[in-house]
Amino acid sequence: MTPMIMVAPNGARLKPEVHPGVPVTDDALIEAGRACHTAGAHALHAHLRDGHGDHLLDAARYQRLLSEFAAQVPGLKIQVTSEAAGLYSSDAQIQLLRQLQAPWVSLAVREITRQQAMPTLMTFFSCLSVDLEIQFILYDPSDLHLLWRMQSEGVLGDRPLDLLYVLGRYTEQRESTPAMLDPFLAAVGQADGAQRPRSQMVCAFGRGQIDCLRIAAVAGLDLRVGFENGIWRRDGSIARSNVDLIDDLHDALGA
């Protein structure tokens, strides 16, 4: 089965001073999305930036961005992030998601549960549209167990579990190895019933990004690639754009 390939072109932190190819304006993000879609990306994970190039959560800006993508790159599925990136509280994330009319969002489990009681989170999830797809971001298996606890306590309602495993985010050098995927797969392998995910995706930080994704594809998982996680090609050189990383990934997959 061919994996879904999602591109994460900008993330919250990479600045143009570090790499001039990172898209930090909405127009640049749309152009990057168009090029990546042509190169074979099926979906895009979108971060907003403010006038200083810093991470931004803004429902109105997201709505405009979604409208522009629908008009200009209609074949590309867009996921918007609610990630805090060290700048926003869980209250701000909750407020964003209550205001936002989006088909697909990502949500970090450890961020949304900060300073929030389970009954508050239950009310929050019950207010969200049943049609909203939520991809739960997991930084290690403890986040998965926390998500399962939320599920068992009825916090999530009947929502399916769509998971993103993040490899290397909290290592000292922000580097990943394929072995970092093993604990996630082991935990899910022991799950049963409602605990089983509907979908699983992997992203990997640093120079090991492409090799980690190749192993994830062998395991039947979907893949997220892009400058959010690393600017290095498989040979160690710096990618000119996100398209280079998509091309490398296709080569690694033998596509």
pLDDT (tens digit, 9 = 90+) per residue, 70-114? Answer: 999 999 999 999 999 999 999 999 999 999 999 999 999 999 999
Instruction: Go through the domains of the chain in sequence order and give each one's CATH number.
Output: 5-253 (3.20.20.70)
Neighbours of 16 (CB within 10 A): 13
39: Cα within 13 Å, side-chain hemisphere: 23
DSSP label at residue 20: T
The token pair at 132 is 């909203």
Q: What is the mean pLDDT of the chain?
A: 96
3-class state of residue 88 by DSSP: coil
CA–CA–CA angle 140, 141, 146 (5° rounding): 105
Residue 249's nearest CA partner among 10, 36, 24, 29 is: 36
Q: How many helices, marked H, and strands, marked E, lie in the chain?
A: 9, 10
> For the range 107-110, what are the long-range contacts, defined as Cβ-Cβ under 8 Å and sequence gap of 24 or more?
107/82, 107/134, 107/135, 107/136, 107/137, 108/82, 108/83, 108/84, 108/136, 108/137, 108/139, 108/143, 109/136, 109/137, 109/138, 109/143, 109/144, 109/146, 109/147, 109/150, 110/139, 110/143, 110/146
Residue 115's pLDDT is 87
Q: Which of 43-47, 190-194, 231-235, 236-240 has the lowest mean pLDDT?
A: 190-194
pLDDT digits (tens, 9 = 90+) for 16-51: 999 999 999 999 999 999 999 999 999 999 999 999
Average pLDDT over residues 161-177: 92
